[in-house]
Amino acid sequence: MGRTAILLISCPDTKGILAEVTGFIARNGGNIIHADQHIDFQKKIFFMRIEWELSDFKIPDSQIGDAFSPIAQKFKMEWELHFSDEVKRVAIFVSKHDHCLYELLYRFKAGDFPGGDLRLVISNHLDLKELVERFGVPFYHFPVSRENKQEVEKKELELLKEEGIDLIILARYMQILSDQFVNQYRNRIINIHHSFLPAFVGAKPYHRAYERGVKIIGATSHYVTEELDQGPIIEQDVVRVSHRDSVEDMIRKGRDLEKLVLARAVKWHLENKILVYDNKTVIFD
């Protein structure tokens, strides 16, 4: 399959949206290969992801947005245009836990994320430096304390800007990013939290799950917002536990969930399959 274009659309639900969008593509020689839609009937919002081949499309890439704008304005759309050969530059932030990091490093190297280019790893510790460099990825050490947090974030943001980073992955990065940092990468920072949110927000969720006697534990990937662990949820999964499981058992079982749930979220983001609205997501998987 050749190059394709992808439109992500959200707008008030009304008649004629589908006909206008598909008609625009058909009139200009595009062959639609994927089309998914969803309606939030309570809020009356229409969502769509549509992808078409560009080989016979009459409009040059640089002019597609302008050509589509009248339709977008007519239906009061929020929309994004992407191309299948776009590659997003990615940075991973990590502390000491290596399971999510290792999963991501392997998947990038194996070509599982063709839409992403892993440019660097940032950590507040040196523990994983050797692992990262073994994969040929630049490693940057930024020790963080309460006293130097603002200065460190400034240096990190400068580095991210220099590298043209499009997506940040928090692979068990045990620091809370400032509001100023988050605002510069709105809906472009993906975190993995080791609980089935909204349960057990914050630190030591497995310990609290054990104390509460839960029968399932989970992991949640979400976009980062100013409020801790409250961003739009991208993916979740669970595994059963019982009275026989210790805290250590829960942590061990949870690790397997965390790395997979995070990897799925990263994949969908890189494939432009996520629409964010009202602190929620629509995933066209």
CA 102-107-109 angle, to 5 degrees, is 95
Distances (CA, A) of 279 to 13, 153, 187, 259: 19, 25, 10, 23
* Three-state DSSP state, 112: coil
User: CA–CA separation, 156 vs 142, rounded Å?
Assistant: 8
What residues contact residue 257 under an 8 Å CB cut-off, 6+ apart?
Answer: 217, 218, 219, 237, 238, 239
117 belongs to the catalytic site? no
- The residue from 98, 166, 229, 245 that is catalytic is 229
What residues contact residue 7 under an 8 Å CB cut-off, 6+ apart?
Answer: 21, 48, 49, 50, 51, 68, 79, 80, 81
Answer whether 270's CB lies under 8 Å from 113's CB.
yes
Distances (CA, A) of 139 to 62, 133, 189: 36, 7, 19
* Three-state DSSP state, 177: coil
* Catalytic residue ranges: 229
